Structure 1
């Protein structure tokens, strides 16, 4: 049985988007609903927190320094040194009632991210690509988006429709074009909702399961090959860290839990870790 540990009982209402920074030996993540950005150093136990001006769906490192952060109000540059946020690009009109949710940087330094309806009822969410100059809407018709992530060879992009319990695969070309959208994996009723995906070095796709008590691993063919159970129901996303990228960090959430469920799950919203045999891929930085 996999040994799962809570490394920070941070009590995130909606923990999301873990990112491992090898040069810092630290994992960064967000709490969307509490509007916080967190940083944790496993070796020292150091913990840092910054307040965001609006709900942060994701953060991703920039090659030029600092971070690109997806907030409800758009894409922002985040400077941890000063704690300041500055607007880079507005993505959608506020009347849609959307916010930005999950994001990922591919090996070309392009940012991929999704938007979702903040009330979780309308199909106003979309998938976007941003290279620092051009913002491209690549797919739409989502209520809650999660991901995306890209295969090790850079030829397949995975994206999640959480409410439809579906992980999709797209063919991805060198210029960032998407085609051949297809179902990669479908989560069966009673097993939770697929949340943030991540890909390991063998091309297998991991997904956190909201209300599913763990994380699943699928083969590149979409076959379920592993499940890691956590002591909390809402597992949102994983990141591969440590010196060999074999330490998994998982964000979780207490959002949606009743008072009784929270009492039964005292670590809900914590940051967890466990070991795996196959490493993840190095974190890429945004070129923009």
Structure 2
């Protein structure tokens, strides 16, 4: 796993399937939905904290509190040191498990509603984006999204970018002053821009515009700006899951899955997958 002539730095190990990595206050936080833990080094050492209610997407609110999309409970919770207490109930607006999450400068949150429960054998159907207002109310912000996955706010808060995994593309929306979305459009067709195998998983805003995309099956982290491919990082045999950028250091943190040569979905089914966090200078 290399970027140019520089070898990757392994930051942390121990996760089963690392999701929603976030940097805050010099520490890293990441969800581990399959391992049933929340991982962090905020206490000085990298440790996995066992959870009863499993987090998926993570985001730090403007006041510093850690919010999480609670995957199978249709709610957003706030970290209290031992678990995620209630913040917003999404049962009235969500149709499936919750995925990734990103916030705006007002304290609002955009949350993926995948649309169907694959773990219960439900047939695939489009999902939606739910907006949790700064007051904790929830509304449907966008519908008809084919497996919404990674999500990021770019352009100084004016644009929301969402990964449509099954369609291998990123879509974008304009964000108004109240957090409402409009002007849906294709932001980047990853089959053409990155690779025919590129299925987007987690994404994050890039420092100089555009987004970094974890293209799980293409084994690449890709920096795209619309139809332009700005940069790529080859992850070798590992499968990139999710990423976040540390604005203070300019480093890209990515969770990647190691399967011992098995196809990733087969490795998940056989519980033969482990994840690490890798760091790149970008």
Q: TM-score, normalised by structure 1?
A: 0.81
The 5-angstrom pairing of residues 88-237 of structure 1 reads: 88-92=87-91, 96=95, 98-116=96-114, 117-119=116-118, 121-131=123-133, 132-188=135-191, 190-219=196-225, 221-237=226-242
1:12-45 alpha-carbon deviations (Å, 9 max, x no partner): 2x21111101x2x111011112221100369x6x
Q: Tell me, yes or no, if structure 1 residue 239 matches structure 2 residue 244.
A: yes
Q: In structure 2, do the counterparts of structure 1 residues 39 and 3 end up closer, same or farther at CA, with 3 Å as the change threshold?
A: same
Secondary structure, counterpart of 1:29 in structure 2: strand
**CA–CA distance in 2 between the matches of 1:64 and 1:177?**
22
Most deviating of 135-144 and 156-165 = 135-144
State the Cα distance separating 1:206 from its structure 2 match: 0.8
Number of positions where the alignment pairs a residue of Structure 1 with one of Structure 2: 262
Q: Is the Cα contact below 8 Å between 2:61 and 2:103 reproduced in 1?
A: no
Q: Is the Cα contact below 8 Å between 2:203 and 2:244 reproduced in 1?
A: no
1:29-83 alpha-carbon deviations (Å, 9 max, x no partner): 11112221100369x6x11222222332112224455422111201122212xx0
Unpaired runs of at least 5, structure 1: 277-288
Secondary structure, counterpart of 1:211 in structure 2: helix
**CA–CA distance in 2 between the matches of 1:95 and 1:109?**
20
* Partner residue, 1:256: 265
Quick one: higher RCO (CA 8 Å, sep 6+), 1 or 2?
Answer: 1
RMSD over equivalenced CA pairs, Å: 2.7
* Partner residue, 1:84: 83
* Partner residue, 2:34: 33
Moved over 6 A (4+): none
* Partner residue, 2:278: 272
Q: Is the Cα contact below 8 Å between 2:21 and 2:29 reproduced in 1?
A: yes
Q: TM-score, normalised by structure 2?
A: 0.83
Q: Tell me, yes or no, if structure 1 residue 5 matches structure 2 residue 9.
A: yes
